[in-house]
């Protein structure tokens, strides 16, 4: 497997390997410090970023490399150079390429042309690095993933999709509660349902947030207005998603030991109350910290050709 473009590219064994590597890098961050010695990793960011930019730069540095962050105004893409030509040029200088942009097609085109591994650091459709960090955080807390129920509430966009796919590959039960018109794509739901069933898990799609969180070990949400959504959509989305706000009353329907997760940035009082986000059951900031070893694990596994991918 050369690239990581979406969580569904992985096999179940790949997920297990990445989580083991990430845990190892938590305990010994510099254990592969010479893997990228004297090599660079360009990080192309067409979208703003805090956690992804900083965690990726730190992961490259821990592997001994030099991260080079660039944006659309710093390359020739806006002057007509194709993304394929850009990929070929970058690949001549780099050990790997990390890209955070809007269209999934752009990432696919970059990966097809690049002679080095390409990592999707977020697109409109996928966020696989976040999903690896999410599962690492759940595993840290509960010791195992198989059979655990994770409930995602809100907009079934890129974060929900990657979480659902990765959790299914780990044999978890996944419940996604969304209002009509906000469900994850059928393709993602069908993939997750099939993979979960193969591994003893299950996928539930519902419009009822209480139904989703019953029996859940993890309650998860994301912002209501994502990057790329027009401000004119705010009022409509807020009205549709308000019943899915995670508050103390909703958390009471989950397991007594349930935790709250959020990929951040968060808007207190919108998708989650301050009491939940800042409370003792919240792992949101541990999730953010885990983006570093998770990204380090992905880069290491790709560069050492350890991932088998789906066959």
Which residues are designated catalytic?
Answer: 100, 127, 130, 222, 263, 291
First CA to last CA distance, the chain: 10
Token pair belonging to 304: 């050492």
Report the candidate in 162, 140, 157 with the shortest Cα–Cα distance to residue 290. Answer: 140
Q: Which residues of 94-106 are buried (b: 16+ CB within 10 A; e: fewer)?
A: bbbbbbbbeebeb
Report how far residue 209's alpha carbon sits from residue 249's, in angstroms, rounded to the nearest whole number: 11
* Phi, psi (deg, nearest 5) at residue 259: -115, 160
* Phi, psi (deg, nearest 5) at residue 292: -70, -60
Strand, coil or helix: 44: strand
* Sheet with strand 66-70: strands edge to edge: 66-70, 40-45, 97-100, 118-120
On whether the CB atoms of residues 33 and 58 are closer than 8 A, the answer is: no
- Structural element, H or E, at residue 168: helix 158-169
* Tokens 């001549």 belong to residue: 92
Please name the residues in contact with 109: beta carbons below 8 A apart, sequence gap of 6 or more.
83, 84, 87
Please name the residues in contact with 242: beta carbons below 8 A apart, sequence gap of 6 or more.
none
> Running DSSP on this structure, what letter comes out for residue 175?
E
Please name the residues in contact with 19: beta carbons below 8 A apart, sequence gap of 6 or more.
132, 135, 136, 139, 170, 297
């Amino acid at each position: 497997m050369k690239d990581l473009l979406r969580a569904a590219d992985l096999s179940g064994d790949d997920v297990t390997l990445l989580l083991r590597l990430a845990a190892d890098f938590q305990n010994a961050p510099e254990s592969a410090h010479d893997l990228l010695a004297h090599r660079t990793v360009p990080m192309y960011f067409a979208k703003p970023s805090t956690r992804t930019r900083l965690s990726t730069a730190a992961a490259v540095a821990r592997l001994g490399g030099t991260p080079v962050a660039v944006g659309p105004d710093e390359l020739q893409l806006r002057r007509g150079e194709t993304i394929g030509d850009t990929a070929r040029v970058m690949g001549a200088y780099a050990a790997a390429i990390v890209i955070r942009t809007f269209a999934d097609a752009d990432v696919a085109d970059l990966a097809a042309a690049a002679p080095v591994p390409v990592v999707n650091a977020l697109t409109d459709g996928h966020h696989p690095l976040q999903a690896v960090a999410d599962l690492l955080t759940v595993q840290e807390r509960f010791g195992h993933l198989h059979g655990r129920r994770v409930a995602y509430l809100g907009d079934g966009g890129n974060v929900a999709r990657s979480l659902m796919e990765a959790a299914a590959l780990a044999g978890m039960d996944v419940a996604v509660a969304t209002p009509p018109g906000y469900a994850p794509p059928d393709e993602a739901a069908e993939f997750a349902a099939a993979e979960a069933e193969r591994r003893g898990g299950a996928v539930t799609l519902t419009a009822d947030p209480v139904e989703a969180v019953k029996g859940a070990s993890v309650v998860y949400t994301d912002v209501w207005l994502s990057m790329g959504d027009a401000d004119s959509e705010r009022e409509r989305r807020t009205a549709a998603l308000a019943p899915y706000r995670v508050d103390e009353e909703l958390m009471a329907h989950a397991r007594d030991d349930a935790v709250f997760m959020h990929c951040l940035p968060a808007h207190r009082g919108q998708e989650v109350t301050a009491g939940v986000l800042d409370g003792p059951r919240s792992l949101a900031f541990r999730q953010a910290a885990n983006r570093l070893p998770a990204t380090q694990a992905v880069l290491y596994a790709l560069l050492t050709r350890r991932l088998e991918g789906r066959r």
